Amino acid sequence: MSEPQQDFILETRHLTKAFKGFTAVDDVNLQITRGHIHALIGPNGAGKTTVFNLLTKFLQPTSGSIVFNGRDITTETPAAIARLGVIRSFQISAVFPHLSVLENVRIALQRKEGNSFHFWRSDKVLNRLNDRAMELLASVGLADFAQSKTLDLPYGRKRALEIATTLALEPELMLLDEPTQGMGHEDVGMVTDLIKQVSKDRTILMVEHNLHVVSRLADRITVLQRGSILTEGDYATVSADPQVREAYMGTEADAVQEAS
């Protein structure tokens, strides 16, 4: 290391993932600055979700490395990097449908209690986590739903619950996979506000289709196309780039303009 550079919480070096005869992610060098909301955008099939799955270790890279807080995590397991403080969300809302809303959050809080293998103890010991769980639910506006079955929540609220569950782990880095996908207008607004709110004191990397959301949230944007980085920068820079406009042909190009 020569001079002290910017503080990167997560870096990928020459990250590559090839499936049979097809390179989904090609030599991607990402650098995520601590404290930023960093958005990963690109047309369908650009490799966003693959990058995402590589970062969270749900896929193994073909070559290249991933460094989190200066530590090489390329060979770690998904559960292990979660314990390091990298918590992901999923495209389809990741909740436990038949547990109550409160229990959903408690599952996340429970891990640090160290009693998760205790099969001989009553689950009443988990009640001491209820206060903290309620705080978290209140912070995403779900306090009134604590006892509901998660299955019965509307979609937007499931997403809010997912964020509360993720926050329970006090992640250093949150990875959000299309957090507003499939949502109506109101819900998009609610979740966007929520992300803004929880982004204080932590870093967020999000894959997002909705450019309006990206323009409101992202400090920095990386545009992927066909598995490699097309360009990077803040929203103004990226949306002015002719290559990006070309990549987002048609309606989506209009969306770029509209949002800016």
Identify the CA nearest to 136 among candidates 101, 111, 112: 101
Site for another protein in 160-179 (CB under 8 A): 165, 169
For residues 37 and 129, which CB has a smaller minimum distance to another protein in the complex? 129
Q: Which residues are CB-neighbours of 228 under 8 A, at least 6 positions away?
A: 25, 26, 27, 28
Q: Does 22 bind another protein (CB under 8 A)?
A: no
In whole angstroms, what is the distance from residue 204 CA to residue 113 CA?
Answer: 26
* Interacting span for another protein (CB under 8 A) from 25-33, 111-119, 136-144, 232-240: 111-119
123 CB neighbour count, 10 Å cutoff: 11
Structure tokens at 67: 């460094």
* Interacting span for another protein (CB under 8 A) from 62-70, 90-98, 133-141, 190-198: 90-98
> Which residues partner with 37 through β-bridges?
204
Structure tokens at 94: 């990741």
Residue of 37, 108, 173, 198 interacting with another protein (CB under 8 A): 108
The least distance separating another protein from the CB of residue 26, rounded to whole angstroms, comes to 26
* Interacting span for another protein (CB under 8 A) from 20-28, 61-69, 80-88, 229-237: 80-88
133 φψ region: left (φ > 0), alpha (ψ -120 to 50), beta (else): alpha
Site for another protein in 49-78 (CB under 8 A): 56, 58, 77-78
Pairing outcome for strands 8-19 and 31-33 = antiparallel
Binding residues vs another protein (CB under 8 A): 56, 58, 77-80, 82-83, 87-90, 94-99, 103, 106-108, 110-111, 113, 115-123, 125-126, 165, 169
